[in-house]
Amino acid sequence: MANELLRIENLKTYFYTWAGVVKAVDGVSLKINEGETLGLVGESGSGKSVTALSILGIVPIPGKIIGGKILYRGENLLDKKENEMQKIRGKEIAYIFQDPATSLNPVFNIASQLVEVIRQHQNVTKREALEKAIELLRVVEIPDPEVKIWNYPHQLSGGMKQRMAVARALSCQPNLLLADEPTTALDVTIQAQILDLLKNLKQKLGMAMVLITHDMGVVAGVADRITVLYAGRVCESASTRTIFYNPMHPYTRALLEAVPSLALRREKLKVIPGAIPNLIEPPSGCRFHPRCEYAKEGVCTLKVPELEELEPDHYVACVRAQEIEAKSPLRNESK
């Protein structure tokens, strides 16, 4: 279980736009063990998707990976040539995009889209590939797969399309699945179905998964470990239980408190003041300091906090994490 599958060290992906350099990912480090689900949590613009796209080397123009290492089973993916990466994409590491309506090709039927991926990576005939594809649809619990496989994406509902996307991602039995907000575009009851499916498949196939989401509720039920991103940097990284019951970074705490709870009805929600910073000129020092209630002039405004292991397997990037711990309002509330 503890075998390391992927390790990202100090990844920097910048976008060179006419307005300036957008530091979308600026020194992200994380690791994923084999068979583990990592929840990558953050608000929009925090660098979740760009991190995942960087792993596969498909950062869109004008983006560029300008530094860091992405070690997959000890090999740095950033040193690989394009034709070597093509053997990894889809086969070793697969990707599920946020919006199933745009990630499937509208002019090809499902069969040809699945067969294409299977034949790209496996030495099989068309007929065998088609049989495999039908089998895959059965795995993702699509009713009458023999009929549905000849459908075009527009003939399917959102939930069905996302199941097709999952089937395509799983077609070559990847070791790592990058699921980028796989349920954001879906309704709650369908979201529950897809999350359940991903959880079961992960167990059955023993693959590792990175689940990218902004919904703390989604990761709570699925992830083993959570990494919280803010403005292109890692805030906190720990096991799911630790993140929820013993968060040490002020941003993680604020994020947990800002979510309206179903069980508890509070008169007023706790608010994180301000908005997400502009990443062309991010705040000096800690990027969260303008919105942080614990920020200290001359400390947080100047020093860029490093990710430190404050407890075993609990990494926090906050200079004052240990000072403010006693004042945490969440401590009393949690079990």
Partner 1 sequence: MSTTPVLEVKHLVKHFPLTSRGILMKKQVGVVHAVDDISFTVNKGETFGLVGESGCGKTSTARAILYLDPPTSGEIYFEGKEVGEVFKSKDKEAILHLRQKIQYVFQNPYASLDPRMTVADIIMEPLVIHAHVPKEKWHDRLYELLRLVGLEEYHAERYPHEFSGGQRQRICIARALAVEPDLLIADEPVASLDVSVRAQILNLLQELQNKFKITYLYISHDLSTVRHICHRVAVMYLGKFVEIAETDDLFETPLHPYTQALLSSIPIPDPDAKTKRIMLPGEVPSPINPPAGCRFEPRCVLGKEHKCVHAAPELIDVGGGHFVACEGAQKR
- Binding residue for partner 1 (CB under 8 A) from 21, 66, 124, 220? 220
From residue 27 to residue 66, what is the string marking binding to partner 1 with x (rule CB under 8 A)? ----------------xx----------------------
Does residue 244 interact with partner 1 by CB under 8 A?
Answer: yes
Q: Pull the structure tokens for residue 222.
A: 């699925």
Closest contact distance (angstroms) between CB of 188 and partner 1 is: 5
> Using CB under 8 A, which residues numbered 275 to 294 contact partner 1?
275-276
Partners of 67 in beta bridges: 12
The CA distance from 318 to 295, in Å, is 10
* Stretch of residues binding partner 1 (CB under 8 A), selected from 12-20, 126-134, 218-226, 321-329: 218-226
Task: Compare residues 74 and 274 and give the one whose CB is closer to partner 1.
Answer: 274
> Using CB under 8 A, which residues numbered 94 to 153 contact partner 1?
none
Characterize the bridge pairing of strands 233-239 and 225-230.
antiparallel
Strand order through the sheet with 37-41:
93-96, 176-180, 208-213, 37-41, 225-230, 233-239, 314-316, 308-311
Q: Classify the C-alpha dihedral 142-144-149-151 as positive or negative.
A: negative
Q: 320 by DSSP, 3-state: which? A: coil
Does residue 17 interact with partner 1 by CB under 8 A?
Answer: no
Does residue 332 interact with partner 1 by CB under 8 A?
Answer: no
The site for partner 1, by CB under 8 A, has a size of: 44
- Binding residue for partner 1 (CB under 8 A) from 83, 123, 125, 189? 189
> DSSP readout, 226-294?
EEEEETTEEEEEEEHHHHHHS--SHHHHHHHHHSPPSS---SS-----S-PPPSSSPPSSSTTGGG-TT
* Stretch of residues binding partner 1 (CB under 8 A), selected from 24-32, 109-117, 132-140, 188-196: 188-196
Are the C-beta atoms of residues 84 and 25 closer than 8 Å to each other? no
Does residue 212 interact with partner 1 by CB under 8 A?
Answer: no
Does residue 191 interact with partner 1 by CB under 8 A?
Answer: yes
- Binding residue for partner 1 (CB under 8 A) from 204, 241, 303, 331? 241
H helices then E strands: how many in the chain? 13, 12
Residue type, 181: E
The CA distance from 303 to 320, in Å, is 11
- Binding residue for partner 1 (CB under 8 A) from 40, 195, 229, 317? 195
Interface with partner 1 (CB under 8 A): 43-44, 157, 159-160, 187-193, 195-196, 214-218, 220-221, 240-241, 244, 254-256, 258-263, 265-266, 268-273, 275-276, 335
